[in-house]
Structure 1
Amino acid sequence: MTQSPELAGGEGFTFEGDAAAFYLVALLAEAYAPGIDDRTVVRVSVQQRDFGEPLDDVIVDFEDASKNPARLSLQVKRSLTISSAKTNKDFHEVIRDSWATLNKSDFRFNVDRYGAAVSFPLSDTG
């Protein structure tokens, strides 16, 4: 399997680190962060596929004032093209892993969230 030049050059890791750092700042500040409303960040994890997280790049756990938990699971991409082309592996993997996250036995409907964090604007091929 060949690596993309961005991954081999570390650019993908840089943006993933930036995304994780954004939530780590909220953790240190005991603050709110985008993704889950009215809850503060209590834990940030990265690269969690080996621990059962399909969307594994950045996992953010939140709590509300009553200590009720919520989780945001993100796949981090430098760019993402939305298309059904069979060659569009990134988008297919994000959809597959989002579906797997939604179907986890511990997923809390109307509480937990999932998705992709993208550095550059999404492109739609029509």
Structure 2
Amino acid sequence: MPHPSAFSALVDAILPNITEVTIEAYQADDSWHLVDVREDREWLQDHLPQAKHLSRGILERDIEARFPDKHTPILLYCAGGARSALAAHNLQLMGYTRVASLIGGYKGWVQRQLPVVQD
């Protein structure tokens, strides 16, 4: 399902201002703290291995408790990359210096037939 045009325009406007990381680059660099910003119901279905969950609704409120060091490398993902891009932008505004969005997100991970975790 395509995103509404205003939402897509917003994401497109912030993409040049954030860092995006490919799945392959993430797999090659174990310094990232992986954070799933999808909704609770999405997380409960399954998620990427090693991921922590902070949904978009609480991310900005709770990020400092989870990651007080604003130089921590944080890689965000959502279903396809739009919500995580917006989240990365907001974390940068909050002073986080090593934050990025996973290109392709959960869908890209699953398309590559990589493992997921069900709790």
The two structures have a TM-score, normalised by structure 2, of 0.27
Bigger Rg, which one: 1
| Higher-strand-fraction structure | 1
Greater relative contact order: 1 or 2 (C-alpha under 8 angstroms, separation 6 or more)? Answer: 2
Q: Normalization by structure 1: what TM-score?
A: 0.26
